[in-house]
Amino acid sequence: MEKTIHMVYEELKSFLKDEQVTMNETILQQHSKDESYHSPQTPDMVVYPESNEQVISIVKIANAHQIPIIPFGVGSSLEGHVIPYDKGITIDFTLMNKIIEVRERDFLVKVQPGVTRLQLNKELKKYGLFFSVDPGADATLGGMAATNASGTTSVRYGVMRDQVRDLEIILPDGECIHTGNLAQKSSSGYNLNSLFVGSEGTLGCITELTLRVYGIPEHIVAGRASFPTVEDAVEAVVSILQAGIPIARVELVDELSIKQTNTYSETDYLEQPTLFLEFHGNEAGLNHDVAFTKEIVADHGCQEIQFEEDNAARNKLWDSRHHLAYAFIHSHKTKKQMVTDVCVPITELAGAIKHARQTIDSLGLYGGLLGHVGDGNYHAIVMIDLNDPIEVEKSEQLNQAIVEYALERGGTCTGEHGVGVGKMKYQQREHGKALQVMEKIKLALDPNEIMNPHKLIHSKRRGQ
Amino acid sequence: MEKTIHMVYEELKSFLKDEQVTMNETILQQHSKDESYHSPQTPDMVVYPESNEQVISIVKIANAHQIPIIPFGVGSSLEGHVIPYDKGITIDFTLMNKIIEVRERDFLVKVQPGVTRLQLNKELKKYGLFFSVDPGADATLGGMAATNASGTTSVRYGVMRDQVRDLEIILPDGECIHTGNLAQKSSSGYNLNSLFVGSEGTLGCITELTLRVYGIPEHIVAGRASFPTVEDAVEAVVSILQAGIPIARVELVDELSIKQTNTYSETDYLEQPTLFLEFHGNEAGLNHDVAFTKEIVADHGCQEIQFEEDNAARNKLWDSRHHLAYAFIHSHKTKKQMVTDVCVPITELAGAIKHARQTIDSLGLYGGLLGHVGDGNYHAIVMIDLNDPIEVEKSEQLNQAIVEYALERGGTCTGEHGVGVGKMKYQQREHGKALQVMEKIKLALDPNEIMNPHKLIHSKRRGQ
């Protein structure tokens, strides 16, 4: 095997610059992990292609030698998606970070996979446009498509899958295809866009994305509403949705998480279960939506509600929400973060969150609850000491209890983080015989199973 | 072959009631065609299952004998999707027409595939809810999922694919799978929902659908705006979208089509290129949107704009739009209708429509232009005498010219009608090497190619 790796290295060197292919230990280490608690593993080498032609050549060489390929963005995934458990070549897309075209009046943008979300939004602002998917981290758009990322705004604008109009994909045999087109809708052929979005690098490498963007809303109002209990807050959200108020963000932050926020972000928010809300629209409609929302939350025992219209206060609010995961890490520096990610039908959410809190407490773990409640997607953030087998075992028990609760109620084991390695064990339970359909698709498109093996779907390759 | 068919008939009789399986010539004729101009062909027999267990048994028998299966709703497809060119068993889902469950507070409904759009909306109204996809025809929801139907409201609420949360599918080998779950979003496994939506019965039979529904908007306003030219009307729509006005419907009807409407629906609309518009929201926001829209259309030379708030006037407006296809048929009773269906990036729409009008006129055909301009999707409706080979040839030329214009500009050959048999010849041109990926998926899931052969994707079966 070592001989093969050396041969592949030499073949890659023949068309890549020295700095584009490396076996440097520090760089291998940087590509051995993501932001999850899953154990690291270094790849054999890391390559930095600059063009789709180079990706094609890399993939063809890997396929000829049946060496695994692991596409890599910035490593912000949360279920071990980019960890090369079967070694191989990690393709780092950092150098493919160009915004190729902004089609302003078509609300479309064409980008390379290494472009990050904030980089894109900075450029789009010049056109009065924005890209809606906001998972918190400044992830690459290639990575976000690979995991079907979403986040705080998906209740209004949809998830990553809803924004992808076309992907350029390099298949495992080196063929280059386009999965879609530039039209707003199409009923032509099987929908490959949605198949490749969320396929976590197991079917091919994304080398270009055409994405839908939106006009920056005329008017934005954000606010915070505090409730006596998490259930009250969740019920208020159900009522807001029921009333047809087109809310743009609605995030639940539980009491313990608000405490973390106040410490880390130096805010002085009431330490109660809280909804962070945002509305987009024209001023008249928005005033009506805000007034209606105030009535609804009052009916659900809201103790305090405060709206912010100016940019600075609004940004502070959302920064504090987005920094919440880091707030937990900051106050538990010797521990790792384990984040659950189920999504349930909205009417099951209050019960699910209550059950999660009880399970955290009964296991004696330390963790907060927060989530994109408009979608029925919530996270338990638990800090664990990876050197303490009992704590690790308890966190596993928590994850399992939360997933089982969701699956029993028609939910999913992952709302937005993806399967990676962490949710593999729930795939059979969640998908039943549909998993065999997925396996058939995987084998039809990647018969040598070189693409990100042991992620999302079981490989017959030499094991993990 | 005839012997096999007789054997299959007897096998089916063993578990289906007499009236559930038939070779009656009248019924075979009824299942030999759809609403398109494509030439008819009768199946060997028609079955009417009452349960998913019966569908499983039917599919297993067909698969064992390698007999084609053609799922059938009400036959309102427009590209020959349900025509059994390779004979076989047509499965008519008319008897599977139950609304199984309305999960009001989850905005979900579970239905059998034979439930029609209007049947569902009648039931949902009791809950203050509605199902958003409106293709005009009172199609079955199974059929609408199979073709990824859309229509007048998709600019605001999305297409069929966006509404499908879960499908129960009977695979060609008789296995029963679920493609999704009840959660609003999921990143678990490959997205089978979107693969099966739009697969036109070529991968399996839909036996149950879980669909997203919406609250009936607080306030609805509809209107008509007349313009000097089609280009002015289209440019006005681009400006409305650019302004971020969340328009719920925006339909273009050209001068010739307005004339048809006035005759057929006894309206007295100004015979000019016209936009039919609709806005959904709260009253305050809506008044603002309407006022803003008036300013925008005025900038684009709008000659007359009229809004209707009361139900009766609004229904008349949309009925006249939906009856447009029939209006053309009504005035050309000896002819068949050929409808084109491309979708282009919105900035290419004005040029595309202008090109279509010039092509219709230069070919000496009779036809109108209309479309869902907010999506960039438009139709040319042309009346042709199928016994006149020159007219048939000209209509083919028109379709081809329209498709090529769209494909050259990043569009698609079908925005909402699907491939069926009519758009097969454009699949290679549109999808290139991605078509091979589709073929691999088809063969992986339906190795005997029994599911609706010769539709969407080429079969190696004995040919058409």
Each residue's pLDDT tens digit, B121-155: 999 999 999 999 999 999 999 999 999 999 999 99
- Residue that terminates a domain, selected from A296, A325, A354: A325
Query: How many A/B residue pairs have CB atoms within 8 Å?
Result: 294
Residues B14 and B75 in one domain: yes
Say how far apart CA A200 and CA A242 lie, in whole Å: 34
From chain A, the residues in CB contact with B295 under 8 A are none
Predicted local distance difference test score (pLDDT) of residue A2:
81
B185, B213, B446: best to mutate for the A interface, most A CBs within 10 A: B185
Say how far apart CA A261 and CA A321 lie, in whole Å: 8
Q: Are B412 and A443 in contact (CB < 8 Å)?
A: no
Predicted local distance difference test score (pLDDT) of residue A464:
41
Each residue's pLDDT tens digit, B354-392: 999 999 999 999 999 999 999 999 999 999 999 999 999
From chain B, the residues in CB contact with A457 under 8 A are 189-190
Residues B243 and B211 in one domain: no
Predicted local distance difference test score (pLDDT) of residue A462:
60
Q: Which long-range contacts link A99-103 to residues 24+ away (Cβ below 8 Å)?
A: A99/A123, A100/A208, A102/A127, A102/A129, A103/A182, A103/B345, A103/B347
When CB atoms are compared, the residue of A195, A427, A436 closest to B194 is A195
From chain A, the residues in CB contact with B344 under 8 A are 182-183
CA distance A117 to chain B (A): 19
From chain A, the residues in CB contact with B204 under 8 A are none
CA distance B266 to chain A (A): 33
Say how far apart CA B401 and CA B395 lie, in whole Å: 10
Q: Are B343 and A184 in contact (CB < 8 Å)?
A: yes
Judged against a pLDDT cut of 60, whether residue A463 lies above it is answered with no
Q: How far is CA A94 from the centre of its chain?
A: 18
Residues B238 and B256 in one domain: yes
Taking chain A, what is the end-to-end CA distance rounded to the nearest angstrom? 16
Each residue's pLDDT tens digit, A74-132: 999 999 999 999 999 999 999 999 999 999 999 999 999 999 999 999 999 999 999 99
From chain A, the residues in CB contact with B175 under 8 A are 433, 436
When CB atoms are compared, the residue of B194, B431, B444 closest to A189 is B431
**Domain with A340 in it: what CATH number?**
3.30.70.2740
Tell me the mean pLDDT in the region B412-423: 97
From chain A, the residues in CB contact with B284 under 8 A are 284-285, 287-288
CA distance A331 to chain B (A): 30
Say how far apart CA A133 and CA B442 lie, in whole Å: 32
Q: Going by C-beta distance under 8 Å and a sequence separation of 6 or more, which residues neighbour residue B359? A: B397, B398, B401, B402
Residues B13 and B86 in one domain: yes
Is residue A23 in some structural domain?
yes
Residues A197 and A62 in one domain: yes
Each residue's pLDDT tens digit, A353-376: 999 999 999 999 999 999 999 999
By C-alpha distance, the chain B residue nearest A192 is: B195
Residues A271 and A126 in one domain: no
From chain B, the residues in CB contact with A182 under 8 A are 344-345, 409-411
Is residue B177 in some structural domain?
yes
Each residue's pLDDT tens digit, A215-226: 998 899 999 999
Tokens 């039931």 label which residue? Answer: B123
DSSP run (H or E) holding A225: strand A219-226
Judged against a pLDDT cut of 50, whether residue B53 lies above it is answered with yes
Say how far apart CA B234 and CA B223 lie, in whole Å: 16
When CB atoms are compared, the residue of A186, A284, A415 closest to B186 is A415
Judged against a pLDDT cut of 70, whether residue B462 lies above it is answered with no
DSSP letter assigned to residue A173: T
Total structural domains within chain A: 3
Q: Are B162 and A159 in contact (CB < 8 Å)?
A: no
Judged against a pLDDT cut of 50, whether residue A185 lies above it is answered with yes
Is residue A178 in some structural domain?
yes
Q: Are A186 and B283 in contact (CB < 8 Å)?
A: no
Q: Are A178 and B411 in contact (CB < 8 Å)?
A: no
Burial class (CB in 10 A: 0-12, 13-18, 19+), A29: exposed
Q: Which domain holds residue A29?
A: 1-216+432-464
Task: Note the ipTM here.
Answer: 0.96
Residues B112 and B22 in one domain: no
CA distance A207 to chain B (A): 15
Residues A292 and A161 in one domain: no
From chain A, the residues in CB contact with B458 under 8 A are none
When CB atoms are compared, the residue of B175, B185, B242 closest to A215 is B242
**Domain with A228 in it: what CATH number?**
3.30.70.2190
Q: Are A185 and B435 in contact (CB < 8 Å)?
A: no
Is residue A425 in some structural domain?
no
Residues A289 and A271 in one domain: yes
Average pLDDT, chain A: 95
Predicted local distance difference test score (pLDDT) of residue B464:
41
Residues A48 and A173 in one domain: yes
- Residue that terminates a domain, selected from B59, B79, B94: B94
3-state SS of chain B is: CHHHHHHHHHHHHCCCCHHHEECCHHHHHHCCCCCCCCCCCCCCEEECCCCHHHHHHHHHHHHHHCCCEEEECCCCCCCCCCCCCCCCEEEECCCCCCEEEEEHHHCEEEECCCCEHHHHHHHHHCCCEECCCCCCCCCEHHHHHHHCCCCCCHHHHCCHHHHEEEEEEECCCCCEEECCCCCCCCCCCCCHHHHHCCCCCCCCEEEEEEEECEECCCEEEEEEEECCCHHHHHHHHHHHHHCCCCEEEEEEECHHHHHHHHHHCCCCCCCCCEEEEEEEECHHHHHHHHHHHHHHHHHCCCCEEEEECCHHHHHHHHHHHHCHHHHHHHCCCCCEEEECCCECCHHHHHHHHHHHHHHHHHHCCCEEEEEEHHHCEEEEEEEECCCCHHHHHHHHHHHHHHHHHHHHCCCECCCCCCCCCCCHHHHHHHHCCHHHHHHHHHHHHCCCCCECCCCCCCCCCCCC
Judged against a pLDDT cut of 90, whether residue A3 lies above it is answered with no
**Domain with B41 in it: what CATH number?**
3.30.43.10
Residues A67 and A158 in one domain: yes
Q: Are A445 and B440 in contact (CB < 8 Å)?
A: yes
Percent of chain A residues past pLDDT 90, beyond the cut: 87
From chain A, the residues in CB contact with B186 under 8 A are 343, 412, 414-415
Q: Are B106 and A347 in contact (CB < 8 Å)?
A: yes
Residues B288 and B227 in one domain: yes
- Residue that terminates a domain, selected from B163, B192, B215: B215
Is residue A280 in some structural domain?
yes
Is residue A423 in some structural domain?
no
Percent of chain B residues past pLDDT 70, beyond the cut: 99
CA distance B255 to chain A (A): 25
- Position A82: which residue type? V
Q: Are A288 and B292 in contact (CB < 8 Å)?
A: no
Is residue A101 in some structural domain?
yes
From chain A, the residues in CB contact with B108 under 8 A are 345
By C-alpha distance, the chain B residue nearest A186 is: B415
Q: Are B199 and A214 in contact (CB < 8 Å)?
A: no
Answer for the pair B163, A322: CB distance below 8 angstroms, yes or no. no
By C-alpha distance, the chain A residue nearest B458 is: A189
From chain A, the residues in CB contact with B416 under 8 A are 185, 187
Q: Which long-range contacts link A120-129 to residues 24+ away (Cβ below 8 Å)?
A: A123/A99, A124/A213, A125/A216, A127/A102, A128/A215, A128/A216, A129/A102, A129/A104, A129/A213, A129/A214, A129/A215, A129/A216
Is residue B454 in some structural domain?
no
B190, B208, B220, B373: best to mutate for the A interface, most A CBs within 10 A: B190
CA distance B262 to chain A (A): 30
Q: Are A179 and B410 in contact (CB < 8 Å)?
A: no
**Domain with A449 in it: what CATH number?**
3.30.465.10
